[in-house]
Structure 1
Amino acid sequence: MSAAYDWLTLDDDEEIVWEGQPSSESLYGTYIVGALLIPLVGLGLLVIFGGYLTMTHTDYVITTKGVYKKSGILSRSVAEIEYEKVQNTAYSAGPIGRSLGYGTVEISTAGGSGVEMTLRGVEDPQAVQKQLSRRVTQVQGTESEEEESTADVLDEILAELRAIRQSLDDGSRPPTGDQPRDR
């Protein structure tokens, strides 16, 4: 792992499968607005510089276990979502984003209220969303197989209990409170 990801702590068996930042094309609107505001006491330069700093200080990382997002210029904020918790992934791209090849990927979690993590300005958002969906399906599919095997074991136990009951019904049945006892 490079020093660029000194904020990322991975498990020993966890690997990075995709990494990115907001694309520079996603800042074209900021650059245009900033250029128009330059005559206003340099306010435009502040807008352009702020957009650039935000882009360069935001990182997105997809690993074999989850999704990470780091943001912040003066302070650092790192968010993580594990695949087990992902309920839904989606992507969107407006007309300009579609023509320039960037968009937004949104991740919703089970029990969360709406979108938990947004990856803005991602290059080829459809490919990123598909990769996330595949990883979520792999992880949650493995859990489903484990749940199915547990259900299979319970079905086998139930079948054995029924067989035991049947053998008791066919053979000598222990007396119950309603039947007279033989003495």
Structure 2
Amino acid sequence: MDEEILYEANPSMFRNKPVMFILCVLLSVVVVGLVILIVWYVQTLATELQVTNKRTILRKGLLSKYTSEVWHDNVRNVQIRQSFFQRIMNVGWIGISSAGQSGLEIAIAGIPDPEEAKEIIDRHRIMES
């Protein structure tokens, strides 16, 4: 079976931190907020989570690159954290650990619909077992 992308997302800016986003927009009048918004935007564009039918991949970086992947048949634990406001905005933090490592191999905040990503991983983790 070929590998296909089932979920792909970059961290959300406004939905993850709406107060900070609004504050940066207000501060953009004095240029400081605009600089913060641009740096934040570039960071979110340079961070991507992909869930395929075989593995989960986290890619970070624009000039330098960082990639971490976990094959679904090795997934030991999937964690999701959402504050009350993140639940309302449907974003959150997701962490994935595998049987081969003691800590989290993939951890990313501000991901839209983290439950969907977890359900895809669980579904394919079960199919592999």
Report TM bin, short chain.
0.7 to 0.9
Query: RMSD between aligned alpha carbons?
Result: 2.1
Percent identity over paired residues: 28
Runs of 4+ in 1 over 3 A off after TM superposition: 35-39
Question: What runs of 5+ residues in structure 2 fail to find an aligned partner?
Answer: none
Larger Rg: 1
TM-score by length of 1: 0.61
The whole-number CA distance in structure 1 between the counterparts of 2:21 and 2:80 is: 24
Alignment correspondent of 2:34? 45
1:81 counterpart = 2:70 = yes
Within the candidate set 26, 34, 46, 1:57 is matched to 46
> How many residue pairs align between the two structures?
128
TM-score by length of 2: 0.84
The whole-number CA distance in structure 1 between the counterparts of 2:51 and 2:43 is: 20
Does 1 or 2 have the higher relative contact order (CA < 8 Å, sep 6+)? Answer: 2
Shift of 1:117: 0.4
- Aligned pairs for 1:1-183 within 5 A: 13-24=2-13, 25-35=15-25, 38=28, 42-139=31-128, 141=129
CA contact (8 A) 2:6 2:120 kept: no
More strand by share: 2
Give the secondary-structure state (helix, strand or coil) at the position aligned to 2:16.
Answer: helix
Question: What runs of 5+ residues in structure 1 fail to find an aligned partner?
Answer: 1-11, 142-183
The whole-number CA distance in structure 2 between the counterparts of 1:90 and 1:43 is: 35
Query: Amino acid of the residue matched to residue 126 of structure 2?
Result: T
Shift of 1:34: 2.6
Query: Amino acid of the residue matched to residue 49 of structure 1?
Result: I
CA separation of 1:101 and 1:19: change in aligned 2, threshold 3 A: same
Give the secondary-structure state (helix, strand or coil) at the position aligned to 1:44.
Answer: helix
